[in-house]
Chains A and B, each alone.
Chain A
Amino acid sequence: METRIQKEARPDTMLLNMGPSHPAMHGTFRIMLELEGEKILNAEVEIGYLHRGFEKTCENKTYFNLLPYTDRLNYVSPQINNLGYAMTMEKMLGIEVPERAQQIRVLMSELSRVSDHLTCLAAMAMENGAFTVFLYMMKAREFLWDVIEFTTGSRMTTSYIRIGGVRADLFEGWRDAVKKAVLETRRVLKDVHGLLDKNQIFLNRTRGIGAISKEDALSYGWTGPCLRSTGVLYDVRKAHPYLTYDRLSFDVPLGERGDNYDRYMVRMLEMEQSLRIIEQVAGLITDKRPRAKTEEIEPTEAVRLGRTQKPRQKIRLSPNLEGSEKQRYPEILTADAPVVVPPKEDTYTTMEGLISHFLFFMKGYGIRPPKGDVYFSVEGGNGEVGFYIVSDGTDRPYRLHLRAPCFHIVSAIEQLIKGRFVADVIPTFGSMNMIGGELDR
């Protein structure tokens, strides 16, 4: 089947595929180029290679079950999608989340934002030849993911931010783990500033290339770091403050020319701001009540003791995620509506707990918001991540639509690369941070 570019191509030009399986195209993006030598005369973009039917799948899942699907949207900062979905549902149900859960949510989404920018800039730098920057930034990301893993149990697809709060409280030594992660990230940022900021090769590849004006950026519906690189101040955390962002002091870096270098620099400065937020929130979260050290020991410990003498302490039966015990529930989960999974202690010990647990997961029960539609958006790694949910009163969403920020950003790529050279496609595409899961949904 003849594509548009084949029809419009001049006879003496060369047609080239920067196809789906290309290292710089993140595996799911195809650009068909009409080249005259190295100069791009015409470009056609084809997306949809990672269309996994997210919105259709959500229509057949209950509100609680589709939470893991939201991790896999922008899989570079999964917790921000969770946050967007959870807060949209809270807005629809009209419930309030306790103070501590809000602060933990801010901490988690800022950690995700820093790891999002780290991954994006690492990929962009590597595609322009700076492999060392890739290794440094991946190392920094490991420290951030350690904090996320110890809190949520999984490195990336956490499903940690639930409707009505968070899954578990912070783990024992979370404060110095966060301190170490922030220190390591700051050290890597200093190195990368030194490596790339005045690097002549990087400047030649990015300064003035892929530039877009303010009006075009707004007309394409750009949001997030890419829009701020053109100088427009729009950050959902400042425009519509949610969680506890209004009580935290951070500023929003702006670029001037909106080219690749500005997008790179805005992301670098934004990481610095996110680290500032993390430190402030870490200060706000209090650890006044020491965790009640119950007399339980781990099953493995009991086995080891068992061999020599009979273990006196009670063995911890359900090695559940640390911090999700019943006594921590009031601080991390809302009590307004039955939207929260009952604690395991109740479920396994009392009859009511078992019934409420069974009812929560039974078909037709669980979370049933009133009829109607709602739209809410949070500031994601690429821009405004918005969820539009239409509910018809049952326990499954009638329609769930994600406003994917990088869908709008990437739709401008044809205009940005036309007339430029093949080598300019790579930094332009890298600085846009196209994420397949979010783009094709």
Chain B
Amino acid sequence: MEKENLIEEIRKRFPDEIESDAETRGDQVLVVRREGLRPVMSGLKDAPFDYAVLLDLTCVDFLASENRFEMVYHLYSMSRNRRLRIKVSLPGETAVVDSLVGLWKNADWLEREVFDMFGVAFIGHPDLRRILMYEGFEGHPLRKSYPWRKEQPRITLKD
């Protein structure tokens, strides 16, 4: 299944979930609607496409645009040595997207990190808690609105 018709194949398989596809600098990119994320992902994971590995999952905070957060997933298929980037844009301040914990096991920690850093809520995640920061920390540091050097010390510091 060559590179071009791979994309057509996927688009035929998921006509309404996929908004658009692109090819930037040799990487295939799919933009998927928020509701259609889980069916697309489980479809891509097994059978014809077998993207068996969730390489990476991260989020980008576009403060200016109206759908502020954009989730970026990188999938990798071992058999075909191909990488695929999937983007999902989440509207509004409190971004919500459904979780992929059922499909890949590393999604658990990756989503906890995105929740900790951006405050994106994942529906269906078993225990969505902070992973990098500590309990008493208010706010989500990687958001563009969080000031770069605002420290929240955990114990009283002598200055």
Residues of A within 8 A of B (CB): 1, 4, 47-48, 51, 53, 55-57, 59-60, 91-92, 94, 216, 218-221, 223, 232, 234, 239-240, 372-375, 377, 384, 386, 388, 390, 398-399, 401, 403, 407-408, 411-412, 440-441
Q: Contact partner of A398 among B27, B60, B72, CB < 8 A?
A: B60
Q: Are A372 and B24 in contact (CB under 8 A)?
A: yes
Q: Which residue of B lies closest to A390 (CB)?
A: B60
Q: B23 → chain A, closest Cβ, in Å?
A: 12
Whether the Cβ atoms of B83 and A218 lie closer than 8 Å is no
Q: Is the CB of B133 within 8 A of A48?
A: yes
The interface centre, meaning the residue of B61, B85, B117, B132 with most chain A CB atoms within 10 A of its CB, is B132
Interface pair A407/B148, CB less than 8 Å apart: no
With A4-B127, A386-B55, A388-B58 in contact, is A407–B109 under 8 Å at CB? yes
The answer to whether A48 touches B134, judged by C-beta atoms less than 8 angstroms apart, is yes
Contacting pair B61 A399 (CB below 8 A):
yes
Report which of B72, B106, B133, B146 forms a contact with A221, defined as CB distance below 8 A.
Answer: B106
Contact indicator B148/A234 (Cβ below 8 Å): no
Contacts of A401 in B (CB 8 A): 56, 58, 72
B108 in contact (CB, < 8 A): yes
Q: Which residue of A4, A51, A94, A232 contacts B132 across the interface (Cβ within 8 Å)?
A: A51
**Residues of B that sit less than 8 Å from A by CB:** 24-25, 27, 52-56, 58, 60-61, 72, 74, 78, 81, 83, 85, 104-106, 108-110, 113, 117, 127, 129-135, 141-142, 146, 148
In the bound assembly, the distance between CA atoms of A374 and B22 in angstroms comes to 13
Pairwise interchain contact B25-A92, C-beta atoms closer than 8 A: yes
Cα distance A150–B49 in the bound complex, in angstroms: 49
When A47-B132, A56-B141, A216-B105 are in contact, do A374 and B24 touch as well, CB less than 8 Å? yes
Kindly list chain B residues whose C-beta atoms are within 8 Å of the C-beta of A59: 148
Which 5 A-B pairs have CB atoms at the shortest separation, nearest pair first?
A48-B132, A221-B106, A411-B109, A403-B56, A51-B132
Q: What residue in chain B is nearest A221 (Cβ atoms)?
A: B106
Contacts of A232 in B (CB 8 A): 78
Asked if A403 and B55 make an inter-chain contact with CB atoms under 8 angstroms apart, the answer reads yes
List residues of chain A with CB within 8 A of the CB of B131: 47-48
Give the complex CA separation of A55 and B117 in angstroms. Answer: 10
Which residue of the partner chain A has the closest CB to B61? A399
A129 to B129, CA, bound (A): 36
Inside 8 A of B61's CB, which chain A residues have their CB? Answer: 399
Kindly identify which residue among A239, A375, A399, A411 contacts B27, using a CB–CB cutoff of 8 Å: A375
- Checking B24, B78, B109, B133 against A218 with a beta-carbon cut-off of 8 angstroms, the contacting residue is B78
> Are B142 and A55 touching (Cβ within 8 A)?
yes
Q: Cβ of B130: which chain A residues have Cβ within 8 Å of it?
A: 48
Pull 12 A–B residue pairs with CB atoms less than 8 Å apart, ordered by A.
Answer: A1-B135, A47-B132, A55-B117, A216-B105, A218-B52, A219-B106, A221-B54, A373-B24, A388-B72, A388-B74, A407-B110, A411-B109
Bound-complex Cα distance A291 to B74 (A): 46
Question: A221-B105, A373-B72, A408-B109 given. 6 additional CB < 8 A pairs?
Answer: A56-B142, A219-B106, A223-B53, A372-B24, A373-B24, A411-B108
Residue of B nearest to A51 (CB): B132
Residues of A within 8 A of B55 (CB): 221, 377, 384, 386, 403
A239 CA to B81 CA, complexed, in Å: 7
Query: Which residues of A lie under 8 Å from residue B127 when comparing CB positions?
Result: 4
Q: Roughly how many angstroms separate A74 CA and B53 CA in the complex, as a whole number?
A: 22
A65 to B136, CA, bound (A): 32
Q: Is the CB of B106 within 8 A of A91?
A: no
A residues near B60, Cβ cutoff 8 Å:
373, 390, 398-399
Residues on A with beta carbons closer than 8 Å to the beta carbon of B108: 411
Q: Are B58 and A411 in contact (CB under 8 A)?
A: no
- Chain A residue, CB-CB nearest to B29: A373
Known: A48-B132, A375-B74, A388-B72. A221 touches B27 (CB 8 A): no
Residue of B nearest to A440 (CB): B132
**Residues of chain B lying within 8 A (CB to CB) of residue A408:** 106, 109
Residues of A contacting B54 in the complex (Cβ-Cβ under 8 angstroms): 221
With A and B bound together, what is the CA distance between A438 and B148 in angstroms?
A: 20
B146 partner residues in chain A, CB cutoff 8 A: 56
Of the residues B81, B105, B148, contact of A56 by C-beta under 8 Å: B148
The closest CB in chain B to the CB of A4 belongs to B127
Given known pairs A375-B83, A403-B74, the reply for A60 and B148 (CB within 8 Å) is: yes
